[in-house]
Amino acid sequence: MIFKSTKSPTAELRDLLGATRARLAQGHLQGLQDLGARHMKALERFISGPVPSEAELLKLKTEAQATEAMILAAREGLQAARRRLAEIERELSGWKAYDKTGQRSEVAASRVTLERKA
């Protein structure tokens, strides 16, 4: 059985953009790939369908811009988390030094205290 949406392609896209923002806000990143596939199908319907009114297009543009801002913020947050994890890993692994003969040696991390960051 093939499911066909009764909504206009524009309304369907707006709903999907809203669902994307909701998942981002809740931190449910796993479901975004599925939503991406649904976005692509809705875009195909949008492109091949009737031309929406200017008002509908402006609403869609606003929804898309809000979603884009959330995606960029989520990406920045993930990058910050990766940087912090790398920083912690470096702190816990100690460091390398060379003695006066040029031999490399591992220097164990002395008592490491991690500073909690927001």
pLDDT tens per residue across span 48-67? 989 999 999 999 999 999 99
Whether pTM exceeds 0.75: no
The more confident residue out of 45 and 103 is 45
Q: Residue 68: pLDDT band by 50, 70, 90 thresholds?
A: very high
- For 29-80, give the DSSP string: GGGHHHHHHHHHHHHHHHHHSPPPPHHHHHHHHHHHHHHHHHHHHHHHHHHH
pLDDT tens per residue across span 13-34? 999 999 999 999 998 888 888 8
